[in-house]
Amino acid sequence: MNKNINVLIIDDEESILSSLRRLLEDKGYNVVTNSDPAAAIEYMRNNLVHIALIDITMPNLDGLSVLSMIKDVNSLTQIIMMSAYATTDRVIAALENGANDFLLKPFNNLEHVVSIVEESEKKLVRWQGVLKQLGAL
């Protein structure tokens, strides 16, 4: 069943993009992937993205810079950072800059990836309820 939640995945590894796309589309998310961070940010300027999964280490643009640019485009987008070489400092820096969660690569348990994305979705649904009650929607 389609959830009407748009997910953007940014990673320079095509294999990661295709496996995550398949996984999340099967769970009903609308998924867009991009291996070029600059193009992904441009995409976000014209399209609604509820949840973004971003690789923290990419050749052209650092994941933390992408995170900050995305938050500047839409501060409501929920961000999940991904990394194979996550140091504690990088994880803390990402969380301090507005990342909502962190995923460690390689993904040995794909259900864990789904549960992290679903957590972000649940948070948005909770806030949707709060804002409805406040009359903002």
Partner 1 sequence: MTYLPLSYLLGSRAKVDIIRILVNRQNYTGRKIAVLSSTNPNSNKKALDFLIETGLVLREQVGNAYHYNLNDKHFLYEPITTLFKEEEKTINKIMKCASAFIEEFAPKTLAGFVSYLRSSVVLTVLAHSFPVKDLGDYIYEKTGFRVVVKVIDTITLNEKSVTDYAEKIYFWNNYKSIVKMLDSRNVVKTFFNF
Task: Give residues with Cβ within 8 angstroms of 95, minimum separation 6.
Answer: 102
**Nearest residue (CB) to partner 1, 57 versus 97:** 97
Query: Shortest Cβ distance from residue 1 to partner 1 (Å)?
Result: 13
Find, among 137, 59, 63, 118, the residue nearest to 95 by Cα: 63
The sheet that has 6-10: what strands, in order across it? 30-34, 6-10, 51-55, 78-83, 101-104
Work out whether 46 is an interface residue with partner 1 (CB under 8 A): no
Work out whether 1 is an interface residue with partner 1 (CB under 8 A): no
With H, G, I as helix, E, B as strand and everything else as coil, classify residue 27: coil
Query: Shortest Cβ distance from residue 98 to partner 1 (Å)?
Result: 4
- Give the position of tokens 């976000």: 44
Find, among 11, 6, 3, the residue nearest to 50 by Cα: 6
Work out whether 124 is an interface residue with partner 1 (CB under 8 A): yes
Work out whether 136 is an interface residue with partner 1 (CB under 8 A): yes
**Nearest residue (CB) to partner 1, 34 versus 78:** 78
One of 15, 46, 59, 75 touching partner 1 (CB under 8 A): 75
Residues that bind partner 1 (CB under 8 A): 3-5, 48, 50, 71, 74-76, 78, 98, 123-124, 126-128, 130-131, 133-137
